[in-house]
Amino acid sequence: MPANFWPEEDSSNELAPLNSLLSDLSGTEELVVETEPLFLPFRFQGRRRKAALVLTLVWSITIALHLVSWGFSFVLGLTTILGIHALEVVFARPRRHPQRIEGELPSVSVLVSAKNEEAVIGRLVKNLCSLDYPDNKYELWIIDDNSSDSTPQLLAELAKEYKQLKILRRSAQATGGKSGALNQVLPLTKGDIIAVFDADAQVAPDLLQEVVPLFQREKVGAVQVRKAIANAKENFWTKGQMAEMALDTYFQQQRTALGGIGELRGNGQFVRRAALTSCGGWNEETITDDLDLTLRLHLDDWDIECVFSPAVEEEGVTNAIALWHQRNRWAEGGYQRYLDYWDLLLRNRLGVRKTWDLFSFMLIMYILPTATIPDLLMAIARHRLPMLGPITALSVSLSMLGMLTGLRRIHQGQKFQFSTYLALLLQTIRGTIYMLHWLVVMSSTTARMSFRPKRLKWVKTVHTGAHKA
């Protein structure tokens, strides 16, 4: 990392390079490994104490707002400030990106970490080896993370058919989960741009032609494409995830238009090699490598762009239990990064615009759900309405508007009739009801992180290959 960004006397020095850290964390399916805090790098120690401190502060402040005479006035003032920022986000004009590469095409290395993916690996390789990009300018690396099914045999057969396909098989002793797999293969790759996909990914042939031109702006360190749910029509949960991804991409695109924080989402992420190297690779001490890398890229003065089109298709989870496990991992990883890098954020390493944007996002996504329980308890005890009602109303209204606009933006360029708008409205209402699960997930996750020992629980999302490309 640049010396003027990570000074030698800074306590963040242990971050560079992250891919050189020794990790005792295993990435085997449904395996829970308790980690001894003493063996963790300094920055990643004490997460439970930090989480407990934040939880205590949030609960104490929420209770105090009910007890002081000016509590509601403070909430109204904060809601007004957040509302002004929300209006800026809503009315921001998305950036226009170049449509073609000027000069020589950069090389691209496409990476997929796969473990027991026999149901989807064949379709994945066929799809990613058929991209509309010069064969000598991109390569596909499949990191077989010690699969115990027929994945290795299928990959061996596929390698005979597709010359772009290269395979790295990890040993049973390999550590670090997905981050460890990506770090292990990185020195073997040649691409100027590193693309990362999940094993169930399916993309359009012109994906690279559409995404690569965005890297012509020198400050762009990464690009995230929209995640589309391939089996969206299956049930309530998959339909909700489809609306959720539209909402997420909409706000990502609007926030980046204002110079705010764009975020990576794992599947369908593209990272400039120079940016990835400057950040030290993927962090093997986190359960959400994409969210951790997001923050480190921004701390290293890179921008992240997010686009609606092209999109990457993936399988949505189909039941409440699978959704609960997945979203708890996302919530814990997202919360973890604030605990890990809090000192750098307080020093305004991101700059005023990005710091304010991140603070607003953190307040609505993490702090507000955590404060909901003490707010409701105090409201019941004092026979009054919840104190945080105005902020909650703002959050829900903003979510509905963003979801509706995001769903509309997916179909941009199509002819709309009244029935189409009615269908989008119904999707938005259903998606809003679905999104209420985040209140339970976030409040329970922040509480759990405060009391339970630090651990990494890696639960593999099962891919069935049931949907059609």
pLDDT digits (tens, 9 = 90+) for 276-311: 999 889 998 888 899 999 999 999 999 999 999 999
Average of pLDDT values for 79-104? 90
Average of pLDDT values for 45-56? 89
Torsion over CA of 346, 349, 351 and 353, rounded to 10 degrees? -50
3 within a domain of the structure (yes/no): no
126 within a domain of the structure (yes/no): yes
Average of pLDDT values for 82-107? 89
Read off the pLDDT band of 414 (50, 70, 90).
Answer: confident
1 within a domain of the structure (yes/no): no
Read off the pLDDT band of 173 (50, 70, 90).
Answer: confident
Q: What is residue 29's predicted lDDT score, i.e. its pLDDT?
A: 41
pLDDT at position 87 over 90: yes
Q: What is residue 252's predicted lDDT score, i.e. its pLDDT?
A: 94
Read off the pLDDT band of 392 (50, 70, 90).
Answer: very high
Q: What is residue 101's predicted lDDT score, i.e. its pLDDT?
A: 83
Cβ-based neighbour number of residue 92 at 10 Å: 16
Tell me which residue range forms the domain holding 34. 10-469
Rounded to whole angstroms, how far apart are CA atoms 345 and 341? 6
Which helix (DSSP H) or strand (DSSP E) does residue 110 occupy? strand 108-114
Read off the pLDDT band of 111 (50, 70, 90).
Answer: very high
Show the tokens assigned to 35: 């980690």
Read off the pLDDT band of 17 (50, 70, 90).
Answer: very low
22-26, 66-70, 332-336, range with greatest mean pLDDT? 66-70
Rounded to whole angstroms, how far apart are CA atoms 340 and 328? 18
Read off the pLDDT band of 9 (50, 70, 90).
Answer: very low
Read off the pLDDT band of 15 (50, 70, 90).
Answer: very low
419 within a domain of the structure (yes/no): yes
Q: What is residue 465's predicted lDDT score, i.e. its pLDDT?
A: 67
Q: What is residue 448's predicted lDDT score, i.e. its pLDDT?
A: 87
Read off the pLDDT band of 461 (50, 70, 90).
Answer: low
CA–CA–CA angle 123, 127, 128 (5° rounding): 120
Q: Which CATH number is 208's domain given?
A: 3.90.550.10
149 within a domain of the structure (yes/no): yes
* % of the chain with per-residue pLDDT over 70: 87
The closest alpha carbon to 241, from 367, 403, 398, 422, belongs to 403
Domain count of the fold of the chain: 1
66-80, 166-180, 406-420, range with greatest mean pLDDT? 66-80
Rounded to whole angstroms, how far apart are CA atoms 393 and 456? 35
pLDDT at position 141 over 80: yes
Mean pLDDT computed over every residue of the chain? 86
User: Residue with structure tokens 């390079």?
Assistant: 17
402 within a domain of the structure (yes/no): yes
pLDDT at position 24 over 50: no
Average of pLDDT values for 416-441? 90
* 330 three-class SS: helix
9-13, 270-274, 344-348, range with greatest mean pLDDT? 270-274
220-229, strands of its sheet edge to edge: 165-169, 138-144, 108-114, 193-197, 269-272, 220-229, 303-314, 202-203
Q: What is residue 88's predicted lDDT score, i.e. its pLDDT?
A: 94
Q: What is residue 420's predicted lDDT score, i.e. its pLDDT?
A: 84
Q: What is residue 100's predicted lDDT score, i.e. its pLDDT?
A: 83
Read off the pLDDT band of 98 (50, 70, 90).
Answer: confident
